[in-house]
Structure formats: C-alpha cells, structure tokens
Amino acid sequence: MQNNISTVLKNLGVLDLNPAFSTGSNWGASANAKTIDSLSPVDGKKIASVQLATAEDYEAVVKKAEEAFIFWRSLPAPKRGDIVRQFGDALRLHKEDLGTLVSYEMGKSLQEGFGEVQEMIDICDFAVGLSRQLYGLTMHSERPNHRMYEQWHPMGIVGIISAFNFPVAVWSWNTALAWVCGNVCIWKPSSKTPLCGVACQHIIATVLKNNDMPEGISNLLIGNAVGDLINNDKRIPLVSFTGSTRIGRVVSSAVAGRFGRSILELGGNNAIIISKDADIDMSIIGAVFGAVGTAGQRCTSTRRLIIHEDIYEDFKNKLTKAYGQLRIGDPLDQHNHVGPLIDTAAVDMYTHAIEKGKKEGAKFIVEGGVLNGNPYQSGFYVKPCVAEVENHYEIVQEETFAPILYLIKYKTLDQAISLQNGVPQGLSSAIMTLNLREAEQFLSVAGSDCGIANVNIGTSGAEIGGAFGGEKETGGGRESGSDAWKAYMRRQTNTINYSNTLPLAQGIKFDL
C-alpha cells in the first residue's frame, strides 16, 4: 500500500505540501511550527507529517477570510453556485484517489471511502441548485401601502470543526451550503486525518485559482489548538461542530457565551426495533451492517437492537451465525467486512466498555477481543461483539465508538419505543416491521424522539437530500439537505412604506 499511497498523494497534489494552514493560493506555516504525523490505522505506518498552525497562522487566516467575505458576499449566488459546480466536477475527477486516501488514513472500507467522496459530489449538485433557490417569504402588511418581506443574508466566516470518522464529507456538507449562501469558511479537520483535509483544500484551491477568486474563501487550519481559538473568536459568527458530545458541550457553551451561533452534530446511541412482524433476513443485514460497518465508528452506527420476545431467541441465533461470517482485515481489500479502529485510544475505549459492561451484567454472546500479529500489525483491529444487556446499564447509555452491539428484549411496542428513547442521545432510529400500524406509531408524535427515524432501513447512513442531525445530547443541529441552508444565513425582515403617512403597527396613535 505504501507505494500505492505515494501515487495517490502525488495525484492529489499534496505530496510536496506540508502546511499548517492554507488560505487558498497561500500555503504556509510559521518558522516555529510543530508537526504531527498522520498514521494509517490500516498498517500503523506513517503516511506523512503535517505542520501545526500557530496563533499567528490563525490570525493571518482570519484576516484573509474577512477580506474575502466582502468580495464573496457580493458575488451573485448563482455565480457562487457555479464555483461549487466546478468543485463537484473536480471531485468527480479525484474520486478514486481521494476515496483511497480516506480509506487508508481513516481506516474505513474502500467502498465507504468512495461513498464519502460521492456524498461530496452529491452535496455540490444540491448546493448548485440551491444557489438559485435561497427563497424568502413575502407577507401581507397590516398597514395600507406597505410591503413586507424577508431576505436571507450570509453570516460571514463559518468555522467548521470536523470529526475523524467522516474526514471529507462532513466538511463538504457544511462548506458547499455555506459558500452558496455567501459565507467564507475556515476548516479545522481532525488531527487524526489531516491529509484528507490538505487534499480537499488543494482541490478547491485549484478551482478557486482557475476562476481568479481571491484568497480566503476556503481556508484550512491544522491542529487541536485551533478549535479553542475558533470557539472564542467573535469574528466567527457561526461554528459548525461535528464530534463527541463531550467536546460539543465545550464548543457550544463557548460559542453561546459570546452570542455566536453553533450547529452541533454530536454523538448518537442508535437503536433498531425488530418487531415480530419484521422481515428477518432484511433485519439481520441492516443490523450487522449498522453495527460493524466503519468498525462501529459512525455517528449513526447501530448500538442497540430492541427485539420482540417472541422472535428474540431465533433472531439471536441468526445474528450470531452472521457474526461468525465476518471477515476482519485490511479495509482496502474489498473481501473484508470490518477494518481497524482509528487509534490506540479507540482500542482502549472498546476494551474498557467490554469490561465495564461485564461488571454491570452484560452477557456476551459473541465475544470481543483485540487482534494482533499479521495482518493486524497496527494493533487497532478488534472483534465485533454482541452482548445481552438491560437498557439502563451505564455502558448502554453511553456511546462507545466501536463495534459493540447490545441486545434488549421487549414485549409491547410502547415499551420498545420507550427503551429506544430512553438514552441521552437522539440521532438515528429505526423499526423493522411489515405492520403498518406499528410503523406509523413509531413515526408518530408518541414515537421515536430522534432526528432520523426509518422504517425497514437500518440506522446507519443517510441521503444528502434530507436534513441530517439529532436531538437531545446529539446537539439539535441540522446539516445537508431540506432547508438546512437557513442555519448558514441571517434572516432579515423588511417593511417598506410607500404611502404618504406614517401609520404605526398595532394601530398605535402618535400625533405631534
């Protein structure tokens, strides 16, 4: 893979770049910049090192972004959309290389790496259309000869802080919409996947340069310290944060403390209810893919199965059999189902969760464990495992970002829905049933409390056309499709008086 990855980096044009920041055409780092190594979880080898942005680098980037905003906000939205269209075209050309880098640097399967880039392309297409549809309403004024309407203006600089598990797609969900809305963006990718960040920035920087756009429309800053600078910077009116609930709490209180706005896309604890009226074969595939895909490192990964008591034993046996067929190994080898976790800290969290679960009473029907030796030399490969638990166990209430699946039995649908909702997080949920009444109850106001509720589809993954995000400790943010664009703009209500008097609202009289 090492030879192959050098070619991939070369094709992406990032081999000779070793930046701490980029404002578009300007790439750089202070003389005293420290570096971090990007290690592949696939084989534990160093891919490259990247410099870390300093406070001076940060200042230089924010200044460029402020200048660029003045230009970019005045460009007609469809013209901004055309730049995004060209970005989508550039991504089509780089899909194979960027997808391969995502797979090698993050550890997800090659198919999922390509899928992530496809998601970027799809959101660009969506944003291009949106650039001609940033509609505001008109309202009837209560006063004669007055006109009232609302319009949407860009916010300014949007700070995007992203997680390691979707190293490219989450940025593009945010940035493609933010750009057509007239904002400029500063991206701080996860320090676990910095090269994906450099590659994406290189692709958009080339598009911007080919269009003679000024520096500062798309900016990249590498390093954990940048997060706090963004949180506390009044020049950044909107922060879109994707990551753990723990860090999300820090970000949201810092941003709210300065009356900034945030979009929070935090942890999930997603369940599938398996009804006695479910299509069992479909349910097994949905459950296994949801639990072990991306090695359980998706915010929408299936963590809990809530199974009807009448089919519980049968389903458990079929699930155990399916787990027996899983192939764990190099995610770039398309025969494997399960790749590695991201790093040592993730492996420690996985083993800790298993130990804690056992202490609380979890009964493992498929045992876990860390895999070592060839071909698992990175030390980050673990066995997907399954345990019978009760929903109130502390470990079941938490999100463990690893392939651990919990089984819970239920009697009535009311009870199943209450178990599904009985966790602090509220991202994705699903019911597998062929019974219309059950499906509708699950989707009703008394049903799932999550941002995403599916019928006969698992919890994992989503299409870009819908608004994506979740409730409760998942943070309440929405990104991607539907009218999620409104979060990137400020609404202004305008009232115009074209009469020759000045009537006041609510009929108030004020004569001089």
Q: Which is nearer to ligand NAD, 7 or 224 (CB)?
A: 224
Q: Which is nearer to ligand NAD, 243 or 461 (CB)?
A: 243
- For residue 46, the cross-strand partners are 39
Identify which of 470, 360, 472 has the alpha carbon closest to the alpha carbon of residue 423: 472
- For residue 274, the cross-strand partners are 307, 432
Instruction: Measure the CA–CA gap between 63 and 21, rounded to whole angstroms.
Output: 13
Instruction: Measure the CA–CA gap between 313 and 306, rounded to whole angstroms.
Output: 12
- Written in H, E and C, the secondary structure of 189-207 is CCCCCHHHHHHHHHHHHHH
By CB atoms closer than 10 A (0-12, 13-18, 19+), residue 239 is: buried
Do residues 120 and 113 make contact, with C-beta atoms less than 8 angstroms apart?
no
* Strand ranges in 411-508 using DSSP code E only, listed in sequence order: 425-426, 428-432, 452-455, 467-468, 471-472, 479-480, 489-497
> Min. distance of Cβ 238 from ligand NAD in angstroms?
14
The encoded tokens of residue 42 equal: 């696939």
> Min. distance of Cβ 283 from ligand NAD in angstroms?
23
Torsion of CA 394, 395, 399, 402, to 10 degrees: 180
Instruction: Measure the CA–CA gap between 494 and 455, rounded to whole angstroms.
Output: 42
Instruction: Kindly list the residues in this chain that would bind ligand NAD in the complex (CB under 6 A).
Output: 161-166, 188, 190-191, 224, 227-228, 231, 242-244, 247, 250-251, 265-268, 299, 399, 401, 427, 474
> Min. distance of Cβ 342 from ligand NAD in angstroms?
7
> Min. distance of Cβ 304 from ligand NAD in angstroms?
14
> Min. distance of Cβ 426 from ligand NAD in angstroms?
10
List the catalytic residues: 265
